Chains A and B, each alone.
Chain A
Amino acid sequence: MARFRLLPDEQQARSPLLLLWREFARQHSAMSGLVLFILFFLLALLSPLLTPHDPYLQNDALLLIAPSWSEQGLVQYPFGTDDLGRDMFSRMLVGARYTFGIALITVVGALLIGLLLGVLAGMSKGVKSSALNHVLDLALTIPSLLLAIIIVAILGPGLINTLWAIMLALLPQFVHSIRNAIAEQLNQDYVTAYRLDGASNWQVLTRLILPNIWERLTVTATMALSTAILDIAALGFLGLGAQAPTAEWGAIIADSLDLIYVAPAGVALPGLLIFTAVLSVNLVGDGLRNAMKKRREN
């Protein structure tokens, strides 16, 4: 005889967020990605307090010191110094601020603007919605580097100017995914039921739609973050983004490129850091996606 149960199983009675976390924590790769991500985040926040030397101080007594794991290295300079005698280790730490931190700010900015436009496109119907979509389709087709080139041509090179370019390049995917998510939500029965109860558009949006789509938004944001880091580094490398003395990782690679035979660490280390940062973001994003899928299956 089927027993009447007022409350579902203990497993299902937990909050969705907790279920998500349990599925997430079960994946080793995702957890290691999360640890790395938190490390980079803390580094971006605290790096000025952690640097052993001034990253911009040029010391002509200590030019091109090898990293400390080689015979000629000094223990005070773990990654050696560059051709102007600046401590590479401090520069790497501060670089997290520029490459990782600015990318994070860019993504948050794009997310907020995307949320606004996506909600407008998703909640409105007819001409307004389709016009917005078509303008976005246009923006989607301009490659991000080309957009950056145009903005740099208008405003001049610099980290902040490329930030706008990357934000603009990221925006369409946010708006598209938010609009699609909202359209999907609006078809749900509980939205109709809530509307029959007399809920206004604003109430439907804030009480039903946003709580239901924010997880998907997080996944989109992690994907955007990995693109943003790669773009900032690439623009720094090409000399369009962060300018010469700034310790942005891509710019450091471009700086060290002519000394690649003498000091290969100057190219290898910042590249490895960019790679690790992007990898950590991607691992977290993939882990979240998998966890959401598994939770739905259970």
Chain B
Amino acid sequence: MLPEARLNAFGRSGCRPLDGVRVLDMTTAVAGPVATTLLGALGAEVVRIETPWGKPRNPSSALPLLVEGPDEPWNREPRQNELAHSKRSVALNLTTDGGREVFLDLVERADVVLENYSPRVMGNFGLEWDVLRRRNPRIIHVSMPAFGNAGPWRDRISYGPGIDAMSGMSWLTGYVDGSPLKPGNFYCDQNAGLSAALSAIAALMARGRVGGQTVELAMLEGELQLIGEAMVGQQLSGREPTRIGNEHSSAAPHGVYPSAPILDAPDSWIAIACRDDDEWEALLGVWREEAVVCDPRFRTGLRRWRHRAVLDRLLCEWTPRFDPIELSERLQDAGVPASPVMGARSLLRDEQVLARQSVGGLEHPQLGLSPAPQAAFRLSETPAPPKNAAPLFAVDTLPVLREILEYSEERIAELLESGAASDRLQER
């Protein structure tokens, strides 16, 4: 049985790795925001530049207003809540001279500009590399185009799932007898976001030697690293790699099997992986199915693999009798890698997730405690969990203009009046 879902608020970290670093976040969709949430959690002050009309926000799917406050659905959009934590929010209209000048003033006081537009967009804003560099020779400009800033596909457009297709990842993912599938919802984006955060820090580390520089992370080239093994293998063997679903290339049983429901979900499963004779013997110690133990088809690893379809069928008859959590514990105790097929609901109740605070809570002014996953590493001296919930729209416009840019009240009033900057959502 799983306990109730729990969310423990992330603690404050005294010292984070990127304290003192300022990032201007011009990202959209998923990949770029993943990079900047990571940098924010690591301690950078991430100033998210939003359009005054809040284009990326989609109020139609707003989460329920849980605490007293104004009903501003654009501040409770789940994707925004997921991808803007650990940041500040400033609204600038970069198509105006005033908004562009504010941005360039921020560039002078920043360390990193990170964007994931298609290659022509920064030029359309008049914010290409030479312009940024003239204002701040130490600035690092991270761009994340889909296909790269040069090459025949430079001006093609795509989101992450389209890159999955172009990289070979979708072609390789799927059931043995099925069509290509996506490797996840936004897998390419998550990978590119991690790589961009890593690259930004690498460039910061090199800054003392070389000053500012551009960092180009083509999402496609980032994802091709993940299937390089298949590409090299294809050249060595002369065979096109194929979809193998959950199977192992040489070991069995190795699959996902139905189980008794958890959390009242009929869609419940357990993953079991036997990679060698020891793990097979350990499985038999729990399974105790005489017909299986004595079956010569399963006597060696090679035979088990050849007869994996039979093994899978037999396991599918056995595993539904068990709660997948209890069966996983029994199998683990015996020495078999096994796990319930978790989901977001069960992870919020999982003892390991709770112990490591893999997912913790951030206090949002309109939602109350809001969940966020933290990165998969724990630093002993400079812990870096997510630090603040997604900011309300444009809540930091005035503080940034005053405190970072030290603009006069007159100038701020002019910027607001002209629409170059905004401290609230505007009609377009």
Q: Do A and B make up one complex?
A: no
**Residues of A in contact with B (beta carbons under 8 Å apart):** none
**Residues of B in contact with A (beta carbons under 8 Å apart):** none
